[in-house]
Amino acid sequence: MSRGKPQDRVTSAFSEGLRSCSKEVQHYGLCLKATLPEVEKGICEREFQQLKACWVKACRASLARK
C-alpha cells in the first residue's frame, strides 16, 4: 500500500493540526494581540506550549494513519 507523496502527507498533517487545535490557535493569537505592539519572546509561553503540544499530537496522529 502506498503511503502517498511526502508533501501530501505533510499537508494533510498540517491541515489536521489546524482543525484539531483551533481553540489553542485562537488563545495564542489573542494573547499575542493583547500584547501588541510590545510582543517579546516568551510573553505568551503558556499558550504557545499548549498549542505546540496539541499540534504535535494532531500531526503525529495524522501521519500515523497514512
pLDDT tens digit sequence for 27-66: 999 999 999 999 899 999 999 999 999 999 998 888 887 5
Domain membership of residue 46 (yes or no) is: yes
Nearest residue to 50 via CA among 66, 17, 19, 28: 28
Average pLDDT, integer, range 1-16: 72
pLDDT exceeds 80 at position 15: yes
Sign of the C-alpha dihedral computed for residues 47, 52, 55 and 60 taken in this order: negative
pLDDT at 2 over 60: no
Q: Which domain holds residue 17?
A: 6-65
Q: Say if 50 falls within a structural domain.
A: yes
Provide the pLDDT for residue 44: 96
| Nearest of 29, 4, 49, 52 to residue 60 by alpha carbon | 52
- Please indicate, yes or no, if residue 1 is contained in any of the structural domains: no
- pLDDT-based confidence at 18, cuts 50/70/90? confident
The neighbour count for residue 23, using CB atoms within 10 Å, is 11
Closest CA to 23 of 59, 51, 53, 52: 51
What total number of domains does the chain contain? Answer: 1
